Amino acid sequence: MTTSETTRPAKGKMIVLAVVAISLLAMLAGSLVYRFAHPELQKAMREQEVAQAPSGMDEAGGMPAGAMNMDAVREMLEALETRISENPKDLEALMQASNIYMMRQDKATALSYLDRAKAASNGDLETLMQLSKLYFDLGEFERTTESIGEILKADPNNMYAHFNMGVVLKYRLENLEEAEKHFKLVADGEHEFEDLRNAAKKELE
């Protein structure tokens, strides 16, 4: 999910974030709005996420009729725990473990891994983008806005982050005044994302 004119220390990160900004955050912005407008799709989306889950799930892991292969999942978790014990700041392992616990409906454990990932992220924008989506999926909307807020501190011109902040504030936290500020920044800002601008204007109607 370029979205910002902010100077980053590492040029390589700029390239990565340009791609992430267009893909991940664009997907997040669209999915948040659509899910808010069509809550009946929540269940279908969760089922789709299960169907597309990594090894240990259905076709990818040769599982019976959408049920989780508990042995495979246990092995995955053991491997991830080994990685984390060797490197407590292994972001990939922490977030993968969180995803598995999310699929197992173990929200408390999923959150514990996400919080550890956030602490280890050192403000990495790509990680914060992913964290904001995962917090949202867990219904942790205050944490969602915290993660998006950290993105905006480092990258004030990130229009997708502003739009996502507006969406969460408006539809989940019901803070319409603050949401409007973010939508106006997107609607009136100098950027090339016209679809996003139009979506923000629609939110302001």
Summarize pLDDT for 133-186 with one digit per residue, the tens: 888 888 899 999 999 999 999 999 999 999 999 999 999 999 999 999 999 999
pTM: 0.63
| Domains of the chain, each with CATH number or no CATH | 11-204 (1.25.40.10)
Q: Mean pLDDT throughout 23-40? A: 47
- Where do we find the tokens 């902040």? 165
Q: Which residues pair with 68 in a beta bridge?
A: 57
pLDDT of residue 32: 55
pLDDT of residue 97: 92
Summarize pLDDT for 57-84 with one digit per residue, the tens: 444 333 443 445 788 888 999 999 999 9
Q: To which H or E segment does residue 79 belong?
A: helix 70-86
Handedness of CA 149, 153, 157, 158 (dihedral sign): negative
pLDDT of residue 69: 77
Q: Mean pLDDT throughout 96-125? A: 88
Residue 10 in 3-state DSSP? Answer: coil
pLDDT of residue 1: 46
